[in-house]
Chain A
Amino acid sequence: MTNDAKMLDPLEIAEAWHRQGRAVALATVIETWGSAPRPVGSHLVIDGEGNFEGSVSGGCVEGAVVTEAADVIASSVPRVLEFGVADETAWRVGLSCGGRIRVFLERIDG
């Protein structure tokens, strides 16, 4: 891995953030149906302040995952989140591409 690639790598960032004493949660795409922007296995890393790097969608549901991450960091209980097609009139988060994804969200424990 080149240094540039390493700087943007969510797993390297997760380890570095943890070493700096920050609380860290890791989100991973575990299942997709239909057209989904990021493949299974993709990561998003979130810290206790809501800072994040990486992606589990093309920017569609990251906000919701970051919100949930605060609970997972507080409780240390992992959870599985599911996102489907966005309902534009209700302003619900979702994937405008029409796919569905499941995301596993867990805390990194030291």
Chain B
Amino acid sequence: MQLSTLEKLNTARTARRAAVVVSDLSSGRAQAFMEGERFPAEWDAAITEALRSGRAALATIDERPLFLNVYLPPPRLVVIGAVHISQALARLAPVAGFDMTVIDPRTAFATVERFQNIELLADWPEDVLPTRPLDRYTALAAVTHDPKIDDYPIRVALDAGCFYVGALGSRKTHATRVERLRSAGVSEEAIDRIRAPIGLDIGAASPAEIAVAVLAEIIDALRHRDRGEQGRAA
């Protein structure tokens, strides 16, 4: 592999862009491609499939033995609401390999004392998210209970194709949220992607237990991206 290929790959990874490296196993020649670029016609199908599935693969194309390695951005968790559940998540999520950010405009909640090891932004999601775009490799959990704070980031996360969008609240709270999103023009298909009530049903009671249930649900969504909607637990 040429150094320039390695540099291009590392630049893509730092910028949170998915990349594929196609290596010719007999010559050692390799090329790096970023998501969104034009791919050579003969490799287009294989590269596109690798990006979709996130799985590296061997392939023989035009009698050349190739290896396609896929580099997806590391998963990130954005939590709306600097509440008690978020404090437990801030300790759990890094252990599971997630970079975590908490956004909450309420400065009484969003204090450094309560959140020490993760990124904390004491601003409105409307002000933060345009400069730090959500992406397909990001999970969003909205846990303030306050529609003024939660609704906007939920809509943005659905638009951005976040692999997980969860919202705290009872079935009744969620029903009224669905009504608001519907009247704001959000499609039924997008609304169906919201996980609510949030978290796997493990009977979680304390904030820490709810955090475990939420994180488990996020991991489930991350590892079963291929499964799509059919495989989702009812």
**Interchain CA distance A2-B25 in the complex, whole Å:** 32
How many angstroms between the C-alpha atoms of A110 and B3 in the bound complex? Answer: 5
Question: Interface stretch among B7-15, B140-148, B157-165?
Answer: B7-15
Docked complex Cα distance between A76 and B27 (Å): 10
Would you give the shortest CB distance from B68 to chain A, in whole angstroms? 9
Which of A52-60, A83-91, A101-109 touches B?
A101-109
The reply to whether B6 and A104 form a contact with Cβ atoms under 8 Å apart is no
Asked if B74 and A104 sit within 8 Å, CB to CB, the answer is: no
Q: Is B138 an interface residue (CB 8 A)?
A: no
Q: How many residues of A contact B (CB 8 A)?
A: 24
- Given A11-B6, A30-B67, A106-B23, A1-B74 contact (CB < 8 Å): yes
Contacts of B9 in A (CB 8 A): 11
**Bound: A19/B184 CA distance, A:** 52
Query: Considering residues B27, B30, B69, B74, which has the most beta carbons from chain A within 10 angstroms of its beta carbon?
Result: B69
On chain B, the residues within 8 Å of A1 by CB distance are: 13-14, 74, 99
Instruction: Mark interface residues in A6-28 (1 if CB within 8 Å of B CB, else 0).
Output: 00000110110010000000101
Asked if A64 is at the interface (CB within 8 A of a chain B CB), the reply is no
Report how far A31 CA is from B67 CA in the complex, Å: 9
Q: Which of A5, A14, A104 contacts B67 (CB 8 A)?
A: A104
Q: Does A63 contact B (CB under 8 A)?
A: no
Task: For A104, list chain B residues within 8 Å (CB).
Answer: 23, 25, 67
> Does B58 sit within 8 A of A, measured CB to CB?
yes
Give Cα distance in the complex from A51 to B115, angstroms: 38
User: Is there a chain A Cβ closer than 8 Å to B131's Cβ?
Assistant: no
List 9 A-B pairs, minimum CB-CB distance, nearest first: A78-B28, A41-B56, A110-B3, A40-B56, A106-B28, A30-B67, A41-B69, A109-B2, A15-B6
Interface contacts beyond A30-B58, A77-B28, A108-B3: sample of 11 additional A-B pairs, CB < 8 Å, sorted by A? A1-B14, A15-B3, A15-B6, A18-B6, A30-B25, A41-B69, A78-B28, A80-B25, A104-B67, A108-B1, A108-B2
A-B contact pairs, 26 of them (CB 8 A): A1-B14, A11-B6, A11-B9, A12-B10, A14-B6, A15-B6, A15-B7, A15-B10, A18-B6, A26-B1, A28-B69, A30-B25, A30-B56, A30-B58, A30-B67, A31-B58, A77-B28, A78-B25, A78-B28, A80-B25, A106-B1, A106-B28, A106-B30, A107-B28, A108-B2, A109-B2
